[in-house]
Amino acid sequence: MICTKDHKTVNIFDPFDYLGPKRKSLIENSWAKIFRDEILPELPVHKLQPFYHSSRGAPTKELYAMLGLMILQQMHDFTDDEAVDEYAFNIKWRYAMNIAGDSDRDTYISPKTLWMMRDILTKNDLYTSFSAHKESIIFDFSY
């Protein structure tokens, strides 16, 4: 079963309001705000739909967050274990990927799930690691 959020629609209540004005200002002036507003909504999640059944099977992790995780892992040159840890505990990462909940369902991803997503992206030419100069991440955005 496919899980995606509409990241272009604004929340009525800010799920990150608990940060308070000073921490909120810090996060909104960081890379996380740019990622959340400019990159996350444009990720080609529709290209993952053929690999999941629309109504049967276990629900996927939120697919925008999964692609965001793949980008952030490469941006920071993290191992799978480090990326899983950041996904679970780093507020900037959760803000960047618009993960509002604190439950394990929202904030935990197993290393195997991360590996499986990379496998799908790689085997289907949807994902290429860093370029030779490690300056950019390449996702196939063609429609």
Residue 131 pLDDT grade (very low, low, confident, very high; cuts 50, 70, 90): very low
Place of tokens 């444009």: 42
**Residues 32, 92: contact at Cβ < 8 Å?**
yes
What are 12-55's pLDDT values in tens digits?
677 787 888 898 999 999 999 999 888 888 888 778 777 775 77
One-letter amino acid at 129 equals: S
What are 54-74's pLDDT values in tens digits?
776 555 667 888 889 988 998
- The residues facing 127 across adjacent strands are 139
End-to-end CA distance of the chain: 23
What are 83-115's pLDDT values in tens digits?
999 999 999 999 998 888 777 788 889 899 888
Q: Give the gyration radius of the chain's Cα atoms.
A: 15
- If one compares 101 and 133, the residue with the highest pLDDT of the two is 101
pLDDT for 134 equals 37
% the chain with pLDDT above 70 = 73
Could you tell me the residue ranges of all domains in the chain? 23-51+60-139
